[in-house]
Structure 1
Amino acid sequence: MTLNMTSSNSISVTVEYFGPAKQYTNDKSQDNIQLDTDSANLNQLLIQLTPLYNSDFVEYIKKSCGLALNGEYQTLDRTISVEEFGKEVVLTDGSELVIVPPVSGG
């Protein structure tokens, strides 16, 4: 699903979902999200996901999931509020974010 119209002031970001994260997306494995270039960060991307899948999904991502941006695992402060989470992670056109489910051992 693509949100918003593409313009010269926007970028496209691919989001991939795996494992339990897909429960929130009705088994959808990927979205292409358009973000305004003035606010292209992880936090804004999560805000775009909220009306698609609800705020519980964003809270689940913040508390439980790993995040890999362009193949690089992101270390984020999970003690801050959802409203501040990920603001320091800048996204660019063509970025790929993978939402990695929590690992369970046995």
Structure 2
Amino acid sequence: MNIVVLYGGTRDGGNTELLTETVIGDLSVDKIFLKDYQMNHIVDQRHEEKGFDQVEDDYDQIVSKVMDADVLIFATPIYWYGMSSLMKTFVDRWSQTARDNNFPNF
């Protein structure tokens, strides 16, 4: 089983990371620290005929790993009652991936 953990915190060894490490214990997991990747914001082009413009960053590298996962764990601090901006940007980019021919099974 391929387990991927997406860490949305910005602080090394922060509370979210420590709690997640306790939960996963000795399981073999692929850890993705979103803070270590360049992920740009996008313009919402869901309703445009041509779809989204290409974005040059590390997002496709991350989503490729996520697509291979059997289990996906989202580990994010809660700021002002919502997920971290890193995690939010990652989730926002799903709109683009849903229309991307490189990820037909998204």
Q: TM-score range by the shorter chain?
A: under 0.3
Question: Which protein has the bigger helix share?
Answer: 2
Higher-Rg structure is 2
TM score, norm. by length of structure 1: 0.27
TM score, norm. by length of structure 2: 0.27
